[in-house]
Structure 1
Amino acid sequence: MDSSSSQKGSLLSQPKAVWAVGFACIIAFMGIGLVDPILPAIAEKMNASQSQVTLLFTSYNIVMAVAMLITGVVSSRLGTKWTLLCGIIIIAVFASLGGASNSIWALVGLRGGWGLGNALFVATALSAIVSLSRAGTAQAIILYEAAIGLGISVGPLLGGELGSISWRGPFYGVGVLMVVAFIFLLVMMPKTKQMTKAKSSILDPFRALKYRGLSTLGITALLYNFGFFTLLAYAPFVMQLKERGLGYVFLGWGLLLAVTSVFVAPQLQRRFGTISSMCAMLTLFAATLLAMGIWTSSKAVVIISVIIAGAFLGNNNTLITTAVMQAAPVERPTASAAYSFLRFLGGAIAPWLAGKLAEWFNPHVPFIVGGCFVLVSVLFVLMNRNHLKHIDHADPAH
């Protein structure tokens, strides 16, 4: 049997705990896409401006960024399983309360609580899948990205259907799905050993950032997330579609993201190397955002660009996540927390900035600024390429 076929076999031959976490990841990431199609409806029903509605992403991401710093501390004390379960139940509670809220500011605050739950879940889920997998780091990350892609692609479709009934529907939908994920994980996932031998410190992620490879990737993600969250949070306002239509657009986006993250990214990695492939995908994503900025008034261009961007983001997500796991000689949960802290800082600023730029100037500017930030991320990688050489030379299967 050749190595490629053995790798394919090993990808599907996983412990029960890996499949349990993967299923919970699908449901957790459905929660993100579930809300996206109802952003314009929230603005209309609550008499809120676009920049106020985009704060739903800002509060979510800023809490996630800060909470990432404590995920290692929590998981090293509670263990992997109970950290995941705590994250899920927090999401369920705050999503359900969001569905019952009657003001945009209450909703913004509750989304922050949702971000806390997501931080505990996301950081722990990635390191759990990588640690528990029998197939090595690269294959485990492909499984993780596949779960994300499935969740992100199906979420908007369900969100569009529920949102066409009421904007509150997707929030309650997330609450119900999280309860399902909680029960599934509680029953299916065995108690796991601590992922770290010693209890983690809140300072560990900051110490990890002294490694230039990890800090370079974190700052790169901070910059490219300006583009990512401009597309996610602001594009629904210029597509001029109802909730169901937005759901189908982001379904296409998510499907391309899922397919490329699983099937295309590993091929690019083997043929061109992790860092070169990442730079190429980010450059194509920047070009897509700039096209959206130039032809913002064309509904067809914006819709097609959003869907195509899913391919570039799917490839990049797998490539950069693989690189982070190999970037520094620190434990995986610590590397993930340090990287995610920087990444979500970009995701916190970008949505609010996109809404404000549209109010200050015109609807074209948010996409152009987002595209420029993504181009800067590529330049930053190229300037620091010497600190990333070891990633291309590493064996991604280990």
Structure 2
Amino acid sequence: MTDSEDTSATVQEAAHGGAPGAVSPFRQPKAVWAVAFACVISFMGIGLVDPILPALADGLRASPSQVTLLFTSYLVVTAVAMLFTGFVSSRIGAKRTLVAGLILIVAFSALAGASGSIAGIVGFRAGWGLGNALFIATSLAVIVGSASGGFAGAIILYETALGIGIAIGPLLGGELGGISWRGPFFGVAVLMALALVATLTLVQPTPPPAHRTSVLDPLRALRHRGLLTMGLTALLYNWGFFTVLGYAPFPMHLGTHQLGYVFTGWGVLVAVFAVFGAPRLQARLGIARALYLNLALFAVDIAVIAAFTDSRTTLIVAVIVSGAFIGINNTITTQAVMTVAPVERPVASAAYGFVRFIGGGLAPYAAGKLAEHYTVHVPFWLGSGAVLVAIGVLATGHSLLADAERTQQAEVRPPAEHTGDRTVAQGG
């Protein structure tokens, strides 16, 4: 999904700038563990609803396209909220923004579980997306500000929380969804309420930064060709990504538990290849060639899904394998975004997030409609084509990718400088 992209690049920076012999990242104050726990639960939301999509359709007598609106409302609201998170956090401070996001997630996930209609769930899922945007935008800043053992240790802990959340989300969704489709929503509400209490109790207040961010800053940043090119590439890539994530559960015809296991396997590959696979591929091929190759393989993988949608085994294997390509793309693309744009990193992050989440939000709903009017194969053919077009869009900025690579190689800075950059970046 989608929130790991902003943190994966940070792992790379930490790896280049972290001091050797640093303190173990898992020896942290209670405040750090409180936020890390909240991060795990928040990242579960990426794949939490996948196992219950068919059950929702059956239980509420809704069509697949109606059910996929759970993704659309969540991600489109997240996209728009990206324009406001920096505005909010630069005025009320990181902790208050974090708490506000947690409160919204608790409230709207509980309301979604209590709802009796698909329209109600879709609406409450939108409110959940707003809370998640506020939380994710500031959680890393709070962890870095409270962590011991340096910036690199804080980032390793944060990335670990991300990986656990992505992998466990579908598993938890499958287990709780096996009891009732309402289970995953209430489960998140309870866990996030615990995280909220821990955050209020253990995390120290943080003052607002000296520089205030305008809502229009991210939109102005899209005037820069490099940032716009990367954003459009991500929009097209996310069209393919969320076609797979949001619609593939329907043609699998699996039970809730089984879907949970499939997407847990997918989530494990996302996390592993984001942390370990992407750095090695980029070191061997460079940014441009690594992205071209990875996007091409991802397009082929979606094409396999399109051609063999009726083969359950092929569909399951191809969906799980797609996690590797998604993890690699998330890491390398975000690194490039953070160095290709001649604007502040928080502004670049907000602008990029705004554009890419639009593609992720619209794709699942479009997939459902296409399948209803044509065949179940068509949405995946379109998803594969969108990823191929993304390669062409990215190629128009080939020289910019080369500049980004040179910039990354030159950025060998002390950990303290990294801390300042990325702490601010998460506010956008």
- Taking structure 2 as the reference length, the TM-score comes to 0.85
> What does residue 234 of structure 1 align with?
247
Change in 2 beyond 3 A, CA 1:96/1:301: same
Could you tell me how far apart the structure 2 residues matched to 1:7 and 1:285 are?
Answer: 35
Q: Secondary structure at the match of 2:248?
A: helix
Q: Contact 2:51/2:173 (CA < 8 Å) preserved in 1?
A: yes
Task: Give the structure 2 partner of residue 189 of structure 1.
Answer: 203
Change (3 A) 1:82 1:386: same
- 1:37-86 per-residue CA deviation (whole Å, 9 max, x = no partner) reads 00000000010001110111111111111111111110101111211121
Q: Distance in 2 between matches of 1:161 and 1:223?
A: 32
User: Does 2:221 match 1:208?
Assistant: yes
**Aligned residue type for 1:391:** A
Contact 2:101 2:135 in 1 (8 A): yes
**1:171 aligns to 2:185 (yes or no):** yes
Q: Does 1:301 align with 2:314?
A: yes
- Compute the displacement of 1:110 (Å): 0.9
Task: Please state if 1:352 is matched with 2:365.
Answer: yes
Deviation at 1:236, TM superposition (A): 0.4
Counterpart of 1:71? 85
Alpha-carbon distance in 2 for matches of 1:18, 1:343: 29
Query: Which residue number in structure 2 is paired with residue 56 of structure 1?
Result: 70
Q: Does 1:147 align with 2:161?
A: yes
Deviations 1:348-385 (Å, cap 9, x if unpaired)?
A: 21011000110111011111101110111111111111
- Amino acid corresponding to residue 350 of structure 1 in structure 2: A
- Distance, in Å, in 2 between the alignment partners of 1:130 and 1:89 is 22
- Alignment counterpart, residue 80 of structure 1, candidates 80, 91, 94: 94
Distance in 2 (CA, whole Å) between partners of 1:321 and 1:18 is 24
Q: Decide whether the 8 Å contact of 2:287 with 2:402 is kept in 1.
A: no
The Cα offsets for residues 88-142 of structure 1, whole Å up to 9 and x where unpaired, read as: 11011001000000111111111111111111122333566678887668x8766
**Cα separation, partners in 2 of 1:350 and 1:6, compared to 1, 3 Å:** closer
In the alignment, does 2:339 pair up with 1:334?
Answer: no
Match of 1:262 in 2: 275
Q: Could you tell me which of 128, 153, 161 is aligned with 1:114? A: 128
Match of 1:252 in 2: 265
Match in the other structure for 1:321: 334
SS for the counterpart of 1:32 is coil
Give the fraction of aligned pairs with identical amino acids, expressed as a percent: 55
Residue 378 (structure 1) aligns with: 391
- For residue 318 of structure 1, report the CA deviation from its aligned partner: 1.4
Q: What are the Cα deviations for residues 197-246 of structure 1, in whole angstroms up to 9, with x where unaligned? A: 32111111012222222222111111111011111110000111100000
> What letter is aligned with 1:360?
H
Contact 1:145 1:317 in 2 (8 A): no
Equivalence for 1:123: 137
Measure how far apart 1:187 and its partner are.
3.5
Does the CA-based 8 Å contact 1:143-1:262 persist in structure 2?
no
Single out whichever of 58-67 and 237-246 deviates more from structure 2.
58-67
Report the AA paired with residue 257 of structure 1: V
Q: 1:392, 1:35 → 2: CA distance?
A: 37
* Cα contact 1:62–1:348 (8 A) shared by 2: yes
Instruction: Give the alignment of 1:267-306 within 5 angstroms.
Output: 267-306=280-319
**Contact 1:127-1:332 within 8 A present in 2 as well:** no
Deviates more, 1:143-152 or 1:52-61: 143-152
Counterpart-to-counterpart distance in 1, 2:285 and 2:187: 41
**Counterpart amino acid of residue 176 in structure 2:** L
2:309 alignment partner AA: T
- 1:305, distance to aligned residue in structure 2 (A): 0.7
Aligned to 1:310: 323
Tell me if the contact between 1:63 and 1:112 (Cα under 8 Å) persists in the aligned partners: yes
RMSD, aligned CA: 2.5
Task: Work out whether residues 141 and 322 of structure 1, in 8 Å CA contact, stay in contact via their aligned partners in 2.
Answer: no
Q: Write out per-residue CA displacement over residues 166-223 of structure 1, whole angstroms, 9 at most, x where no aligned residue.
A: 00000101111211222233334333354x4321111110122222222221111111
Kept after mapping to 2: 8 A contact 1:68/1:119 = yes
Is the 1:254–1:310 contact (alpha carbons within 8 Å) kept by the matching residues of 2?
yes
Letter in 2 for 1:160: G
Equivalent residues in 2 for 1:10-49, closer than 5 Å: 10=22, 12-13=24-25, 16=29, 20-49=34-63
CA contact (8 A) 1:124 1:333 kept: no
- 5+ residue gaps, structure 2, are 1-14, 413-417, 419-428
**Letter in structure 2 aligned against 1:319:** I
Distance 2:386 2:23 in 1: 35
TM-score (norm 1): 0.92
Report how far residue 250 of structure 1 moved: 0.5
